Amino acid sequence: MSNLKFKIKNLKFRSERGVTILLTLIVLSIVLATAVAASGVVAFQILLAGDVSNSIAAIAAADAGVEWQLYNLRNAVNDDPADFMLFQNGLANYNPIKVVDNDTSTVGWNAGSAVGGWLAMDVGAGGKNYIKARVFLSLAGDAGSYKVQYSDDDISYSDVATLNLSAALGGWNTVAWSDVGSHQYWRFLISAGGSPTIDINELEMYPAALWSGMSNGATFTTSVVWGSPTILESLGVYKTAKRKFRLTF
Q: What is the pLDDT of residues 191-219, one digit of tens each?
A: 887 666 667 889 999 887 655 455 566 77
**Whole-angstrom distance, CA of residue 88 vs CA of residue 118:** 6
Distances (CA, A) of 57 to 45, 211, 213, 245: 18, 17, 13, 13
- Residue 6's pLDDT is 46
Question: Residues 7-63: pLDDT tens digits?
Answer: 445 545 455 555 566 556 565 566 566 655 555 544 444 444 446 677 777 777 777
Least confident segment among 64-78, 113-127, 164-178: 64-78
How many C-beta atoms lie closer than 10 Å to residue 59's C-beta? 17
Q: Residue 54: how many CB atoms within 10 A of its CB?
A: 18
Residue 245 to residue 222: CA distance in whole angstroms: 9
Query: Which carries the bigger pLDDT value, residue 28 or residue 5?
Result: 28
Q: How far is CA 90 from CA 43, 110, 173, 221, in A?
A: 70, 11, 22, 38
pLDDT score at 163:
86
Task: Choose between 23 and 97: higher pLDDT.
Answer: 97
Nearest C-alpha neighbor of 97 from the set 110, 81, 111, 112: 81
Domain 83-207 belongs to what topology? Jelly Rolls (2.60.120)
- Please state the pTM of the whole predicted model: 0.59
Q: Is 49 helix (H, G, I), strand (E, B) or coil?
A: helix
Question: Burial code of 16-46, b = ≥16 C-beta within 10 A, e = fewer?
Answer: eeeeeeeeeeeeeeeeeeeeeeeeeeeeeee
| Residues 57 and 70: beta-carbon distance below 8 Å | no
pLDDT tens track for 149-185:
999 999 999 999 998 876 666 788 888 888 888 999 9
pLDDT computed for residue 28 by the predictor: 59
Query: Position 176: which residue type?
Result: A
Q: How many CB atoms lie within 10 A of CB 193?
A: 21
Q: What's the mean per-residue pLDDT of the chain?
A: 75
Domain boundaries, the chain: 1-76+211-249, 83-207
Please tell me the predicted confidence (pLDDT) of residue 168: 60
Neighbour order of strands in the sheet with 171-176: 171-176, 130-137, 200-207
